[in-house]
Structure formats: structure tokens, C-alpha cells
Amino acid sequence: MISDHDLRAAVASGLLSESQAARLTALAHSRSGARENLEPGDEPFELFKGFNEIFIVVGLGILTAGWIAVNGLTVATEFVNYKTQATGATAVGAVFVWLIAEYFIRRRRMVAPAIALSILFAANAFVGFNAHFAQPFMLAQDDLSSLPLPLGLSILALGVFWYRFKVPFAMALMALGVFGLAMLVAANTSGQAFSIEEMFLLSAGGAYAWITLVVGALVFALAMYFDMSDPHRVTRRSAQGFWLHVVAAPALINTIALSLMDRGDSTGQFLLLAVMIGFAMVAIVIDRRSFLIAAIGYIVSLAMTVFENDGAALTVLLLGLFLVALGAFWTQIRAFLLRRIFGFLPLDRLPPAH
């Protein structure tokens, strides 16, 4: 193992420059934690590095609750001027969250606080822009035409936050925001949907199903951009891809799964299983378990809530067996597939087979 003393000696001897030593140290830190004891071919995943991060997140939650309570009372007592009060409070909140992020994310490089601060910044931005631009009386009458602007501005604000701190989870929040914005625009132009069938079934003929597919494809393409720029998964670009895959998979499978499960017959179940095999092959080739587990997890949640019948129970059973088998032989299956598709894909941009 190369220690800090070795790096300083290498800089002093001229073997490395200070910038090279700093980049090497940052790379070593990024590989520590969840990456440190990974088996070959395993997928990096890290929500927190220690209980101190959970301690800080709990503190941030309590601090947020207190901030909301104090400012909620102020807005309630001065309802006539609520826009100014709410906008001012969220502006102060944005500055406060940003300053805390400078310490916990930029300096301490903490994972769980980075996720929590990204959520707080996004929520704070939406509340502030919503208070300033949205029309509460229109919202009370189910008129959502005033919501796209504050949501769009919130996505842009979160983009600035991501550009500064490069928090991977913030990228997933932006993807969800884009999806919500597209759905709002569709609701304002083609009318609101009042059931799942109207929203996501291809047979309904509405825009929502196609929006879900298109947004899912775009998010997947962005995830692959990050993945292919870091095939060995040693930088934060890999984590960006991880969270984007978590968003992309449910969006891609949503319309297909709902349309097939709505059939309620054995043919629909067979086709759904075939679709999941296709998703599994993609996930194995790009070496992203997160992509597959997000898709299957979404289908299971649909089967247990929306489609509660014997066919749905059988679907859950088959998917469970499918996942267990893949988990046991993932590496071997991936090596087999990569040998068969050699020459068709840029394998040098994908994680190596083990």
C-alpha cells in the first residue's frame, strides 16, 4: 500500500507533481469504503460510510423540521404577505444548505449527508419557486398550469447544486424532476388522467405512456454515458450512472409491464417474462445489477398493489427465482455473453469480464 509519506517523497523527488499526487489521493479515497473490499465484478454501492453520517442526517432532519415549524408559523400569521415570507425563508434556507454542503460534501466527502442535502436543496427550491410563481387558487381547482415553471426552475437550481458538488443522487433527482415536468406539460395540454390505465397503458392512446418510455430511454442513455466514461468504476461518474439506472429502469419497464399485466392471461405473463429476460441481458452486459433490480422491484410493487390476483402472485414467484439464479451465476453468465457479442459492442468501454 502506498502511504501519504510515499506520495510526499515521490513529489519531493520529482517522480510525481503535486497535482498528480492530489489526483491519486482523491482516486484512492473514492475507491475506499464500499469499493475497498469488493469482489471482482461486483457493483459499487454506498449509502453511508459510518454511523456518524447517519447521526448527521438525523440532525439535519431535526433541524429541517424546526426550520419548517418556525417559518410555517410566520407564514400563517402573515398570510396576506405569504409569498414574500415564503420566498425569503427559502432563499435563506438555500444559502444555509449550500454552506453546510460546502463542509460536509466538498471538505468531508460524506455520502449520506450529501444525499440528504441534495433532497433538502431540491425541496427548498421547489417550495420557494412554487410560492412565488404558482397560483394557489388555480391549484385548488385542479388547474396545474402554474406548476411547470416552478418545477423547471427547481430542476435548474438543482443542476447548479450538482455542478458544484457532483452529488450522484442529485442527478437522479433531476431525472425525476424532468419526468414530472414532462407529465405536467402533458396534463396541461392533453388533459389530466384519472386512472393508471389512462396514464400508462399503450392501449389508452394517451401521451403519458410514450413520455415515460422516452424519458426512460434518455435517462438510460445518460447513465450509459457516465458508465462508459468510467468502465473500471473508480470515480464518481460510476455512482452517477448507478443512480440514473435506478430511475431509468422503472420508467422503461413501467408502460410495458402495465400493458402486459393488464391482459391478465398466461400470454401476458409469458411476454412479461420475455421482456424481463431482455432487460436482464442488457443489465448483465453493462454489468448493472441496479438497473435490473430497479425494474423487477417496480414490477413486484405493481403486482402486489395494482394487480392483486393469482397471475400477479405467480409473476412475483418467477421473478424471485429469476433474481436468485442471476445473483448466483452473474459473473459466469456475463463472461459467456461477452464472448458471444465480441466485436458488436465497444467492450473496452464496458467493465471487464472476470
Judge if 201 and 349 occupy the same domain. Answer: yes
Q: Determine the Cα–Cα distance for residues 118 and 129; give it in Å rounded to an integer.
A: 17
| Chain CA centroid to CA 113, Å | 16
Question: Which residues are CB-neighbours of 240 under 8 A, at least 6 positions away?
Answer: 166, 168, 171, 223, 226
Same structural domain, 20 and 139 = no
User: Do 263 and 344 have their domain in common?
Assistant: yes
In a domain, 187, yes or no: no
8-state DSSP, 288: -
CA dihedral sign, ordered 282, 286, 291, 296: positive
Confidence of residue 27 (pLDDT cuts 50, 70, 90): low
Residue 40 resides in a domain: no
Regarding whether 135 and 7 lie in a shared domain, the answer is no
139: confidence class by pLDDT, cuts 50, 70, 90: low
Residue 226 pLDDT greater than 60, yes or no:
yes
Greater model confidence, 128 or 32: 128
Give tens-digit pLDDT for 258-268: 777 666 667 77
For residue 298, what is its C-alpha cell? 417496480
Position 193 scores a pLDDT of 56
Query: Would you say how long the chain is, in residues?
Result: 354
Query: Burial of 103 by CB count in 10 Å (0-12 exposed, 13-18 middle, 19+ buried)?
Result: exposed
Q: What is the pLDDT of residues 261-311, one digit of tens each?
A: 666 667 777 787 788 888 888 888 888 888 888 888 877 776 666 565 556
Three-class DSSP category at 74 = helix
Task: Please indicate, yes or no, whether residues 255 and 315 belong to a single structural domain of this protein.
Answer: yes
**Please, what is the angle between helix 148-165 and helix 82-101, to 10°?**
20
Distance CA(229)–CA(239), nearest Å, equals 12
Q: In terms of domains, do 204 and 351 share one?
A: yes
Check whether 99 has a pLDDT greater than 80.
yes
Are 15 and 60 in a shared domain?
Answer: no
Task: State the pTM of this model.
Answer: 0.80
Q: Are 87 and 128 in contact (CB under 8 A)?
A: yes
Residue 174 amino acid letter: M
Do 103 and 227 sit in the same domain of this protein? Answer: no
Is 36's pLDDT higher than 60? no
- Confirm if 276 and 296 have CB atoms less than 8 A apart: yes
Q: Are residues 250 and 343 in the same domain?
A: yes
90 lies in a domain?
yes
pLDDT, one tens digit per residue, over 163-212 is 999 999 999 999 999 998 988 887 777 666 555 555 666 555 567 778 88
Q: Which of 43, 19, 44 is nearest to 30 (CA)?
A: 44
Confidence of residue 10 (pLDDT cuts 50, 70, 90): confident
Q: Same domain, yes or no, for 58 and 172? A: yes
Query: What number of other Cβ atoms are within 10 A of residue 253's Cβ?
Result: 26
Q: How many domains does the chain have?
A: 3
More reliable by pLDDT, 334 or 139: 334
Domain that holds residue 148: 45-180
**Grid cell listed for 126:** 421547489
Give pLDDT, residue 306.
59
206 lies in the same domain as 344: yes
Give CA–CA dist 352/227, Å, rounded.
12
In a domain, 240, yes or no: yes
Task: Give 254's pLDDT tier (boundaries 50, 70, 90).
Answer: confident
